[in-house]
Amino acid sequence: MSTIAENIAKVGARIRRAAEAVQRDSQGISLLAVSKTKPAAALREAYAAGQRDFGENYLQEALDKQRELADLPLTWHFIGPIQSNKTKPIAEHFAWVHSVDRLKIAERLSAQRPAGLPPLNICLQVNVSGEDSKSGCAAAELPALAAAVAALPNLRLRGLMAIPEPSDDTAVQRAAFARLRTLGEELELPLDTLSMGMSHDLEAAIAEGATWVRIGTALFGARDYPQASTPSDKGNPA
């Protein structure tokens, strides 16, 4: 078995154990392999081990890998910060976007979704740690944003996403994820998705209802960045 295949098996076991601990069916929890900064060959290895869903943060890097891996039936998720001048390729080349945090971006994605494709699956990213520097809409803005996004024709609002402040304290981790779950429950919309939990806190996220866990380091190893210019990743152990 390759290291990546072994890591996928280990993360799968963590997901099952975490689900069992809270009497959840682990079938309801999907693994999103976060492959930012990793070469196409690493994704190919993950595919050979059964992985189909991949999350990318940087548009150009993602498009390059999609071209290299066009022979594989992969499902692509965009999970990084979105500039409004980049929405068209995102609308064209992804099945999911987890990081929508303002209406303008959602409107552009809907308008630019090609007619032949199914609606783009959307998660709204919410700032659950209340820290100014993080992306995500404020909890107070969420109801209006969710209602407006749910009404857009070429999007399908699936649920919420968060990247809480990293913490080693399980209680703190769970409180942030519980907050996201509660915010979702308070919206009177048919949502089925909570995108929450990363390599260091997937157990806490699963305990609070995660349906996608977004895992990078635990599958592909630590990331190596060329410079310290990765704002979406700041503070995450890598």
Interface residue list for ligand PLP (CB under 6 A): 34, 36, 57, 79, 163, 198-200, 214-218, 232-233, 236, 238
The nearest distance, CB 153 to ligand PLP, in angstroms, is: 27
Closest CB to ligand PLP among 38 and 174? 38
| 52 contacts 11 by C-beta, under 8 angstroms | no
Separation in Å, CA 215 to CA 89, 109, 211? 24, 25, 13
Closest CB to ligand PLP among 23 and 129? 129
Closest CB to ligand PLP among 167 and 236? 236
- In this structure, the number of other CB atoms found within 10 A of the CB of residue 225 comes to 11
The nearest distance, CB 112 to ligand PLP, in angstroms, is: 22
| 48 contacts 37 by C-beta, under 8 angstroms | no
The nearest distance, CB 231 to ligand PLP, in angstroms, is: 10
The nearest distance, CB 116 to ligand PLP, in angstroms, is: 28
Closest CB to ligand PLP among 11 and 155? 11
Burial class (CB in 10 A: 0-12, 13-18, 19+), 226: exposed
- In this structure, the number of other CB atoms found within 10 A of the CB of residue 210 comes to 28
